Structures are given as structure tokens and as C-alpha cells.
Amino acid sequence: MDLIYSIILGVIEGFTEFLPVSSTGHLILASRLFGIGQTDFTKTFEVVIQFGAILSVVVLYWSVLRKNIHLIGKVIFAFIPTAIVGLLLYDFIKNVLFAESVTVWALLIGGVVLIIFELLRKDDGQTVELDQVSYKQAFWIGVSQSIAIIPGVSRAAATILGGMIVGLRRKVIVEFSFLLAVPTMAAASGLDLLKNMKHISDGGFHVLAVGFVVSFLMAILSIKFLLKVIQKHSFVPFGIYRIILGLVFLFSLSLIT
């Protein structure tokens, strides 16, 4: 992998990580499009750029977290269901679910579900502030997030749908999703990094560093972009985008097979 691909994948990971469109799905499909094989180094690279995205949340929300220990507790509580599922099904996820066909269908179905939920939603929820999220709501959001072990589902989309179901307003759903990403991604990426640490070579360090920085900067832009978009729009455009992207790649896969 050279620096050009490092920048491209860093942009894709950073900008899509916190949008309900599946960053993992985008990375899998982008790697296929550019002919980047799933080597041990590329797997490690994907883990490193995820850490860049995590850091963006910590930087932007540090003051909020530092002043609200109860919010941290709720975020950790919401993380528990995903941690249990991830540990129990780690090998199955990596060896079976990380397939292009699974990713494409998850993108398509997830887009349809996101649109349906928005169209059926009668109001914007009753929970209007982050610190008003209850432990019960946090738990069910965490249960929803655990479905995102399937590549293409999108961790952000799963938590957003979970937040809708338990009555959170859009801004609260989105911000809680940002915060929940920190322990979730740190745990998943940390486990992967430990397993693949030996594949980081001195010759590839600059590629990892560039991808990390690019992902961090793009994630900051993505967070600000999403918060601005939801002030005037619903999540329906993201659902439509997922469907279009899924259909494009489904068509391309059918041509090849």
C-alpha cells in the first residue's frame, strides 16, 4: 500500500465512521475497487485509521465527558452488549461475515430500514439532552449497536435506530452514538491491533501515520457535518444513499460473477 491509497482510505474511514452508512462496508468495497488485497498489513492499517477516528471524538467531546461522570457510566453500560457479542463471535465475524455479498446486502437492507423508521416516526423523541439519557435507554441502544457486528449494517445506523425506538431526539441520538463509538471501536481495534502488531514494519510506519492523521481530520469534519445536517433534515437521505451504493456494487458483483 502506498501513500495515495493511505490518504484515500483515511478519508473514507474518517468521513464515514460516524455517518449511518457503514465505514467498514465502504472500506471493504473501496479496497475491492482499488484492488487492495486483504493482507495482514492492510488489516492493521484499517485498525490504525479507526483509532484516528476515535481520537476525534475524544478531542471534540473531552470537556463534556470530563464534567459528566454519569454520562461516561451510561456510555460504558451501553457498550456491554456489544462487548459480549464481539468476544463470543469474534472468529465468526472475521472469517465469515467479512464478505462482499454480506456487506452489500446489509447496506441495502439497512437503507430501507432507516427510511421506514424515519417515515413511521411520529415525533422527534422526548429525551432532549445527553445527560437525560437513562441507563435503560443506554442499554437498548447498546443492544441495537451489537447488530452492527455484521459489516455493512453500520454501527452509527444501528445506534441511531435504537435511539429512535427508545425516544431520543436526533441530536441526542447522534451525539450518544459518537460517544459510544469510543469504547466500542477502541476495544475492537485494540484487539485487532494486538493480533496484528507484528505486521507493522518500519517501512510501513509512514503509511500508517498518514492514514491515522487523515482519518482524524476527516472524522472531525464528519461529526460537524452530521450535526449540521440533522438540524434541518432527517436520516432518509442516508438511507437513499445506502440503497444506491448497495445497488451499484450488487450490479458490479453480478457482472464479475
The whole domain housing 192 covers: 3-256
Q: How many CB atoms sit inside 10 A of residue 111's CB?
A: 27
In the three-class reduction of DSSP (H, G, I as helix; E, B as strand; rest coil), residue 127 is classed as strand
E strand spans, the chain: none
Alpha-carbon distance of 5 to 9, in angstroms, equals 6
- List residues bridging with 38 in a β-sheet: none
pLDDT at 87: 82
pLDDT at 201: 59
Residues 6 or more apart whose CB falls under 8 angstroms from that of 129 comprise 172
The gap between the terminal CA atoms of the chain, to the nearest Å, is 26
Crossing angle between the packed helical segments 135-145 and 69-88, to the nearest 10 degrees: 30
- How many domains does the chain divide into? 1
pLDDT at 158: 93
Pick from 79, 228, 206: nearest CA to 139: 79
Residues 6 or more apart whose CB falls under 8 angstroms from that of 162 comprise 140, 141, 142, 143, 144, 145
Residue 226: all three cell numbers together: 452530521
Q: pLDDT tens track of the chain, all 257 residues?
A: 678 888 999 999 999 999 999 887 888 788 878 887 767 677 777 777 888 898 999 999 999 888 889 999 999 999 999 889 888 886 777 677 767 788 888 999 999 999 998 888 877 778 888 889 999 999 999 999 999 888 888 889 999 999 989 989 889 999 999 999 999 888 877 766 666 666 565 557 788 889 889 999 999 999 999 999 998 888 999 999 999 988 988 887 666 55
Report if pTM > 0.75.
yes
